[in-house]
Every structure is written in C-alpha cells, then in structure tokens.
Structure 1
Amino acid sequence: MSIFNRLKTASRARSDRLKAGDITTPDGRRRARAFMLWYDHEFVRIPWSNLAQVAPGVWRSNQPTHARLARLKDRLGLKTVLFLRGQMLEPPRLFEEESCAELGLDLVIVPLAARNAPERQSLLDLIAAFRRIEKPFLMHCKSGADRASLASAVYLLAIEGAPVSRARRMLSLRFVHLKWTKTGIIDAFLDAYETAQKASGVGFEAWVENTYDAEALQRAFDAKRRGGTA
C-alpha cells in the first residue's frame, strides 16, 4: 500500500472514531465537535457562508453553525430548517437537531445525493416537503454547493413554476458548484427536463413522476464523461 493510501486509510479510521452516536456525554460531545470542526470542514463554514435567497421566504446555504442559525432566526424570522444530508446518526444531524430544538425551529429531513442522478422518489419527497413546511425556511447540505443547488432548482421548477433558465442559476460557481465534476449530473438533470419541456410542454413534477429515468440519465452522463466531453 502506498504512503498516500495508508494516510488516507488512517484519516478515514480516525474520522470514524470521531463520529459519536451520542453528543450528550462529555467525551462523545468532544469527539463529535472535533469531527465537525476538521472532518466536516466546519473550520471553513465558521467564517464563511454562501447564504442566498431562492424565492420569497426560501433560503439556501452551507450547514450553519448554531450561532449563525440563531442570527438567521432573528434576521429572517426563520421557522423551519430543511436538512438535505440524510438520516445518518452522526454529528452534523445530531448538532442540527439540538440547535433547532433550542431555537424553536422545525427540522425537516429529506436526503438527497449530489454525485448520482437524483432518484424519482427523493425528488417527489422533496416537492412534498416544500409544500408542507412553514416559511421562512432554510435548506442546506454540507457545503451548500450541490444538494442545496439541486433542491433550490427543484423548488423553482416545481413550486414557483420558473423556467429552467432561472433554475439553472442555482448551479453556479457562486455556490461552489463545479459542473465538470461528478456533480455535473445535476446540470444534466436540468438539461434532460429542459429537452422534454421544449418537446412536449410537460410540467416539471409530471415529468419527474411519469417520464424521468434516473438510470438512463446516469448512463448517458457517465458515457459522456468517459468520452472526455463532460
């Protein structure tokens, strides 16, 4: 095994040790805070946020610290936080639950992926969540770059009835979204809907529910990347 691979394996093992399943004990909390700061890159998010408004009463960002979440509640009148990172019992979710409980905010969890074609059911679950959660709300993933970009685009298309051109603005370097990486699958997803919409006038939600094929999109995207054109 190369030195690089040994270091990578050691780092992953240390990260796993710090993923406390309980932040109520002093040792568990200490380890969880270390995980958040270094392995979850909170040291970047403490001084920097890519907060932006998506639509009236709808905001997006990277994962906020407790202090930033408190400021957003005061400044925006925040009612709900939409957590896009999944159901994992790890520090990001545990600290988010704690912060929302302390601040009196509703927490809604809808897991999304950023490096694979979005699953149909995940998209429908997201749209359903958008319709039921109370505004103003903040949606976020880890870095606010990809899952938050996808969710913001879906909100504009499904709830606002916005054109794809407007939704596409949610996927940009402004949010550190890099379309030439695997997360370019999100751009391909919007391209696929735009093609279908131009051909038939189909609405976004109807397209997702009845026509969208995640596996076909992923195959086409992977083939394009292998050909060096994506």
Structure 2
Amino acid sequence: MFKSLKKGFKKLERAEVGQFGNDVSTPRTRHLAMWHFHLFDHAFLRGLWTNLHEIAPGVWRSNQPSPRRIARYARMGIKTILSLRGDKDVSFNLLEQQACDAHGITLITTNKAAARGALAGKDYVALIDLLASLEKPFLIHCKSGADRAGLASALYLLHCEGATIKEAKKMLSWRFMHLKSTKTGILDHILRLYEQDVAARGPIPIRDWFEHDYDIRKARQFKTLRSFP
C-alpha cells in the first residue's frame, strides 16, 4: 500500500512539474511552481522555522529560503547566496534564481555537497575554495539547513576563520536539527577522522588534509559503526 501511495505521489508531482516545466516567468507558471515548492519541497514546513544563524561576521546559514525570505535577506544586506542543492531546473531553484535576480543577489549553486555520503577529497577541496571566494555578506543553505549546510559551515570556519575543530563540530548539532545517529552522521565521522589525524600528527589545514590525507574508504566505513561519541 505504501509503495502505491508513493508511486501515486510521484505521478502527481510529475504532472505538477509538467504544468510549468522550467519557466516561472508568467503569473500562471510562477503560481504553479509555488504550489510545487510548498507541497513537494515541503516549503510549508519552513514558513516559521528558517534555521537562520550567523556563524561568523557576515556569514549566515539557513534552510531553503522562499522568495519572500530572499527579499528580507536582501534588506539585511546579503550579497551572495550559495545553494548546496545542485543546479537542476526544479521549482526551488527557479524561484530562488528569480528572487535573487529581482533583489540584486548573486546566486551560486553547487553539487559538491552530500548529506548521507562521503564525497571524493577533490570535491571537498572545491567546496572549500568556493566558500573562500564568496562575497560577503553571504548565506549558505541546503534544504533543511541541518546537514550539508552544517558541514559547509564547519569547513568555512576551519579554513577561513581559524576555528578549532571543537568549534567547527558545533555546526553539526541537534540545535540545527542535525542527527548524528542517522545516516547523516557520516558528516560527523569525516570531521572525526580529521580530528584524529590532527591529534596524532599535529596541526593540518583542513584543505591540505582533504587534498593529501583524507581516505574516502575510511569515511565510507561509517555505516559499520555502532556507537557515536
């Protein structure tokens, strides 16, 4: 029964997407995209809960912003938004790009982020370099603002703000709705591997560690772990 309901929901979503495609330039297509955004991307749950937090002067993190929130962020002075959700032509990206264009905000999207898996070292290096290049004030977001945004925030603090590993690890906490005991705990495991190497060998810049020392095989062994320190 559950599979039938899921299949029916997916069919309904495809039908809804078919109504606006990759076009939100008319009142009708924008209205349809907003329906998709709220219903299928769960934006209605983010109406009051934004997960917005300033992690460093001029550097913010949050969940997926709506067009209305982007207008508010523009009034706050935000110049750049980094979306960790990829660049597909889907409702949330189309509406976000439209809102950013309307308010003079530069929107950058990247696929170099994952919530439930370990990426290659070069992908994390690319993300670190991208974070270091963003014009402030800027905002980092994923869907919920809990996992991908949490790791990106930790990497930014380590690379750009000289934060300690202990300080950076706070970006992955229940305060931001990040749960270490689920599959997203692999992000904590990656930082733990870095912490272990620093403890054994002395200070290692996080970018250098990903470039030369990070072992993706060890990172992906997280699924076999039984406990979470």
TM (norm. structure 1) is: 0.91
* Distance in 2 separating the partners of 1:121 and 1:26: 42
Distance in 2 between the 1:150 and 1:159 partners? 14
206-215 or 17-26, which deviates more? 17-26
Percent sequence identity is: 43
Shift of 1:27: 4.9
Q: Does 1:215 align with 2:217?
A: yes
| One-letter amino acid of the structure 2 residue matched with residue 130 of structure 1 | L
Residue 50 of structure 1: aligned partner: 51
The residue aligned with 1:194 is 195
2:37 is aligned with what amino acid? M
- Would you say the 8 A contact 1:120–1:214 is kept in 2? yes
Q: Using the alignment, how far apart are the partners of 2:145 and 2:197 within structure 1?
A: 28
CA contact 1:110–1:122 (8 Å) conserved in 2: no
Q: Match for residue 176 of structure 2? A: 175
- Shift of residue 25 of structure 1? 4.5
CA distance in 2 between partners of 1:153 and 1:198 (Å): 18
Partners in 1 of 2:132 and 2:45 — Cα distance?
Answer: 32
SS state at 1:171 partner: coil
Contact 1:197/1:203 (8 A) holds in 2: no
Tell me the CA shift for residue 13 of structure 1: 2.1
Q: Could you report, residue by residue, the CA deviation over 1:48-87 in whole angstroms, capped at 9, with x for unpaired residues?
A: 2110011111000001111112112212x11100111011
Mapped pair 1:86 → 2:90: no
Q: Are 1:110 and 1:125, in contact at CA under 8 Å, matched by a contact in 2?
A: no
Which position in structure 2 is the counterpart of 1:160?
161
CA distance in 1, matches of 2:3, 2:216: 33
184-193 or 12-21: bigger deviation: 12-21
Inter-partner Cα distance in structure 2 for 1:14 and 1:44: 20
Q: Distance in 2 between matches of 1:99 and 1:121?
A: 31
Question: What's the offset of the Cα at 1:24?
Answer: 2.5
Q: TM-score, normalised by structure 2?
A: 0.92
**Does the 8 A contact of 1:154 with 1:167 survive in 2?**
yes
Partner in structure 2 of residue 205 of structure 1: 207
Alignment correspondent of 1:13: 11
The count of residues paired between Structure 1 and Structure 2 equals 223
Q: Is the 8 A contact 1:49 1:61 kept in 2?
A: yes
